[in-house]
Structure 1
């Protein structure tokens, strides 16, 4: 076999390996997406739980919640007012003093009528994985409603239920058209989430937080 023939064989093997890897990624992403899909419920049909867990989603100019984050917080407020939850745990990133998600989220909820005792904050929610693990390990959360957009819920639910929480999801964008904007990112993020759960990784930050109010 000449040099071209050897090169052709290795190219075919490389393409086959790449195709198999891509199929593996897509299969694992689909598994994570579907594993707890049945636990995504409309707000009215969500079960009662001690707490709603709201994930950070960035701030707008002026240090106020972004439109996406405000959507999540408004949904948590509605759940609290409907007595679906007793309290709200907001989990965000305050690693930059000019970007304190948790403070902005807490302020948003308090300004809209939630009492101090019903609003808890985790300043070390640097990722969805960290937020879920810390909610379980640090805050002792065993049963919760996860509040985020629909595209994000399958990954959040997979992580939360895999680390020992009994969790359901309520889509903050319920009733709105779905978007494909995050499709590619979520495909790979779901795979990463599955690997992190499998490896039982510790949160990136060990920052302690106070236990939830009883």
Structure 2
């Protein structure tokens, strides 16, 4: 019998390649190495997923804060500033002031703190325009406190907190547009105030503009918690 005949008649078991272990029935073999995702890619995907979830949680918190209508007694009402036109509140600021006035008339607090500085070419600060608006509607001058130097939310609340805490008025309710309240609340709490929030129900920021502002504020809240709201204020103004 020649070599070819010997190979043809060798037992089947002798022809089986035993270099790899047999896979048991019901088990699946691991994919070849070239089909497995690199470890670095899995890490990056995990980080992206965590950051996306963190942003979504921040967005939910921004939306929830914007629905707050706190109206229990506190020491002071704090109105976050917005644009003014030569001493006249813009529609956005007017809506905030009208809500603060309703809270004041409802006995929520004995003091109203108005905030906001001015642009270089302005004659009046946002706080001055707000003070005049409230005084014209019956709020006594003695009940209106002012912070008129801040040009950002953080700067305004930082200056306002010094005045409020100096007067022993640490329990406050913040009044602003719905999208603006979560970040303002976190800043105020970090500055030593015991802050609640009450969103103006007549905000002029509506539709897609409101959606965009909520998305932007969620990013600000998420980033501010990581780097600090004071540093965020320095970075973005």
Q: 1:151 is matched with which residue: 170, 173, 179? A: 179
**Pick from 37, 41, 50: which aligns with 2:68?**
41
Unpaired runs of at least 5, structure 2: 1-37
1:131-189 Cα deviation digits (max 9, x unpaired)? 22222234314110100011111111111123221111111126997731313321332
Structure 1: 5+ residue stretches without partners? 1-8, 205-214
8 Å CA contact 1:55, 1:92 repeated in 2 = yes
1:182 paired to 2:213: yes
Are 1:167 and 2:195 an aligned pair?
A: yes
Task: Pick closer, same or farther for the CA change 1:40–1:27 going to 2, 3 Å.
Answer: same
> Is the 2:55–2:222 contact (alpha carbons within 8 Å) kept by the matching residues of 1?
yes
More relative contact order, 1 or 2 (CA 8 Å, 6+ apart): 1
Does residue 1:194 correspond to 2:225, yes or no? yes
CA distance, structure 1, for counterparts of residue 49 and residue 119 of structure 2: 34
RMSD: 3.6
Q: Are the equivalent residues in 1 in contact too, given 2:175–2:197 (CA < 8 A)?
A: yes
Q: How does the TM-score come out when normalised to structure 2? A: 0.65
SS in 1 for 2:95: helix
Secondary structure (helix, strand or coil) at the match of 1:146 reads strand
Contact 1:150 1:174 in 2 (8 A): no
Scaled by the length of structure 1, the TM-score of the pair is 0.71
Q: How does 1:72-91 map to 2 (within 5 A)?
A: 72-91=96-115
Query: In the TM superposition, what is the alpha-carbon distance from 1:85 to its structure 2 partner?
Result: 0.8
**Correspondence for 1:142:** 170
Aligned to 2:140: 115
Distance in 1 (alpha carbons) for counterparts of 2:129 and 2:203: 26
